[in-house]
Structure 1
Amino acid sequence: MDSRSIALIRTTFKAVAAEEGGAERLARSFYAILFTDYPQVRDYFPAAMDAQRDRLVKAIGYALDRLEEPEKLLPFLAQLGRDHRKYGVQRVHYAAVAESLKAAMRRFAGSEMWTDEVERAWTEGLTLIAEAMIGGAEKENAPPVWTGTVVERREVLRNLAVVRLQLDQPMQYAAGQYLSVQIPSRPRMWRYMSPAVPANANGEIEFHIRSVLGGWVSPAIVGNTVVGDRWLLGAPLGGLGIPRNTKRKMLMIGCGTGIAPLR
C-alpha cells in the first residue's frame, strides 16, 4: 500500500475512534450490520459480545499501526488466520467482515470524510489483511482443533485449580506458546491459556487456572470442571520471543499461574 492510502485509513479510523464512546459505537455498529446482512455468521460468535467488541477494536488498531511494517504485520496476520481455523471460517466470511466494517465506518465518518478515495483505501487495506490471514490458514497442516478429556482436576486454592487432559491426538508446541480453549459449559467463549507441561507423545496436557472475579470462563473451569469433560483446544500460538539456540543465560520471571509455563 502507498503512504497516502495508509494515511487515509488511519485518519478516518482515529477520527471515529477518538470521539467519546466512538470505539464502542463503531464495534456495536459493525456487529449489528454483520449479523443483519450475514445472519449465518452469528453462530460463530459468543452470546456475550463485550469482550469480542473490545478485541475487535484493538486488533484493528494494531494492524493499522503496522501497515508500513509488513515484516511485523504479516506474521501476526498469518498467525491470526491460523487461529481462526478453529471457528470454521471460510474465505467468504472475510468478505462479509470487510463489507460490514466499511459500512460501519461510512456511517460514523460521514459523507464529507468518507470519500471514494477513502473507500478505495479501506478496500485495499482490508483485502491485504484478509489475504494474509487466509494465506496463513491455508498453509497450516496441523488440525484446526484438538479434542481432549479431563482426567484430573485438583483444587490448589479456593480460586486456583490444576486441570489435566488427555488429548485424542498429541499436540506439538514449544516453550512459551499458548493456545485457546473452549469448555462445554461456555460454548464459543474461547480463552487463551498456557500449557504447564512440555509437549509429549502421550498427548497429556496440563493447565493452571486462576478464577478471575467477574469472568465468564475461568470461574466455570475452577468451580465446575469434572473428570470426563470434553474440551476443544485451538492451535498453539506465540513464543518466548528469544532465539531457541542461544547459549546465553536467561532469567525468567513469572507471577501467579504465569510461573507454570516457565517449568
Structure 2
Amino acid sequence: MTSLSTVLKESWGLVEDRQDRVAQHFYARLFLSDPQLRDLFPVQMDVQRGRLLGAIVSAVQNFDSPEDIDGYLRSLGRDHRKFHVTPEHYSQVKVALIDAIRAHAGERWNAVYEQAWNDVYDHIAAQMIAGAAEDTEPPYRHAEVIHHERRGADIAVFTCRPLQPLKFRAGQYVSLECHYQPRLWRTYSIANAPREDGTLEFHVRAAGGGWVSSALVRRLKAGDMLRIAAPMGSMTLDPQSRRDIVFVTGGTGLAPVKALLDELTRYNRTRFIHLFRGERQDDDFYDRRHLDEIAESCPWLTIVRAVSDEQGYPGERGAIPDVVSRHGPWRDHDFYVAGSGAMVNATLRRLTEMRIPSTRIKYDAFTDA
C-alpha cells in the first residue's frame, strides 16, 4: 500500500515546477474569498508570497509520523496567534490551497490526491487550533529597545525589555516585528538565559535581501518598540544529561549558544564544554572578547575558532564540520549545532558519519527567508 507521505509528494511533484503560479493562485483565491484576510499579510507581498504556501507544503510533505510533529504544530498554533488567526481562517486557507494545486496539477490530479491533502491539512489545522486554544499567555509582547550596538558591517547586537515578563528557556527563539517593516515577522534566538531584569539580547546579521534583518541592524535604535511573540524551539539543555557538550556554531548561530553558556555558567561544575566557531575570516568573529572572558572564568570551557577563507590565519582552518571531526572523540557527548542552513546540514551529515546518535543532537538553522 502506498504511504500517505508518498501520495503527498507525488501530488506536489505535479506542480513543483510551477510553484510561483500556484502561490499567486493561492493568494488570489484566498483574498477573493475574504478580502479582510489581506490585512493579516505584509504590505510587500513579493516578500511573503512563498512563505505561507511553502510552510504548509513542507509540513504536509513531512507528515510521516504525526505523533512526532504534533507538539511542534501546537507550538506553531500558539505562535500564529500573533497574526490574529481564527479557526475559520484555517478552513479558508485549505480551500484556497487545494484549489490552487488542483488547478495547476492538470489531468493527473485525482481523488486519492485530493483526499490525502484534505486529511493531512485537517490534522495540521486541528493541532494548531488546539495549541492556540490552550495558551493563556498574550499572543505577543511589546518591548523597548534599550541598547543597540553594531558589531560589524552587517551585524548588530541589541537588548530590549518586554513590558510584560516573557517566560522562556535558554536556547529558544522568538518572532520579532518592528515598525520599520510592519506585519513582517522573523525568528531570532534569544542570546541569554532568563535574567532577573527580564531583558533579552539578540544578535542579527543583515541578510542580502532581508527586509527585517536589514532594518534591525541599520535602522533600529534605543527607544524603538518591538513586538515579540511566544518563545519556540527545543534546542535547550537536557536536565537529565551529565554528558560533556559540544557546541558547533557559525555566524549569528552564536546567539542560542551564548544563552546556553549563560545558563551553564550559573551551575556547571562537572561537564566539559567545547565550543567550535566557524567563520570565513578572522574579522567575522564578533563578540570574541566576551567569549574569551567566559572561558577565562570557567575552566571547563574550551573555544576553538576556525576560518575557511583566510589563508594566513594562524589558527584552525577549514570548514567547521571538518575541524570538529579532527578533534574528539565525541561519542559520549551531547551536540548543539546552530548557524546557516548549509552549515547546519553539513555538520549533521558529518555527525552521522561519526556515528553520533541523533538523540544526542539538537540544532537550529537560521535564515531571514
How big is the shift at 1:217?
1.3
TM-score by length of 2: 0.65
Among 100, 104, 108, the alignment partner of 2:100 is 104
Deviations 1:17-41 (A, max 9, x none): 1x3xx12221221112111222111
- Find the partner of 2:155 among 156, 160, 179: 160
* Separation (CA, whole Å) in 2 of partners of 1:128 and 1:149: 38
The separation in 2 between residues aligned to 1:37 and 1:117, in whole angstroms, is 26
Contact 1:5 1:118 (C-alpha < 8 Å) held by counterparts = no
Q: Matched residue of 2:156: which SS? A: strand
The one-letter code matched in structure 1 to 2:207 is: V
1:88 equivalent in structure 2? 84
SS at match of 2:180: coil
Partner in structure 2 of residue 126 of structure 1: 121
- Which whole-Å CA distance do the structure 1 matches of 2:182 and 2:256 have between them? 26
Residues 187-198 of structure 1 correspond to what in structure 2 (within 5 A)?
Answer: 187-198=182-193
Which is bigger in relative contact order (C-alpha 8 A, separation at least 6)? 1
Tell me how large the CA RMSD over aligned residues is: 2.1
1:67 corresponds to = 63
Match of 2:19 among 20, 23, 30: 23
Give the aligned partner of residue 42 of structure 1.
38
| Residue identity opposite 2:108 in structure 1 | M
**Post-superposition offset of 1:138:** 1.2
Structure 1 Cα separation of the partners of residues 111 and 126 of structure 2: 22
1:213 partnered with 2:212: no
Are positions 1:10 and 2:9 aligned together?
Answer: yes
CA distance, structure 1, for counterparts of residue 254 and residue 112 of structure 2: 50
**Cα distance, 1:60 vs structure 2:** 3.1
User: Unaligned regions of 5+ residues in structure 2, if any?
Assistant: 259-369
**Alignment partner, residue 164 of structure 2:** 169
Please point out which of 235, 249, 255 is paired with 2:250: 255
Give me the whole-angstrom Cα distance separating, in 2, the residues matched to 1:91 and 1:164: 35
Question: In structure 1, what residue type is equivalent to 2:150?
Answer: E
Alpha-carbon contact 2:169-2:193 (below 8 Å) kept: yes
Alpha-carbon shift at residue 76 of structure 1 (Å): 2.4
Aligned residue identity for 2:11: T
* Residue aligning to 2:224: 229
Q: Distance in 2 between matches of 1:64 and 1:221?
A: 32
Q: Which moved more, 1:3-12 or 1:237-246?
A: 3-12
Whole-Å Cα distance in 2 between the matches of residues 167 and 248 of structure 1? Answer: 34
Unaligned stretches of 5+ residues in structure 1: none
| Deviation of 1:120 (Å) | 3.2
8 A Cα contact 1:171 1:200, kept in partner? no
Q: Say which one has the larger Rg.
A: 2
Deviation at 1:89, TM superposition (A): 0.3
Give the C-alpha shift of residue 192 in structure 1: 0.7
Aligned AA (2:251)? G
Aligned partners of 1:5, 1:222: CA distance in 2, in Å? 44
Separation in 1, partners of 2:7, 2:159? 49
Q: Residues of 2 paired with 1:195 and 1:4: CA distance? A: 39
Please report the TM-score for the alignment, with normalisation by the length of structure 1: 0.89
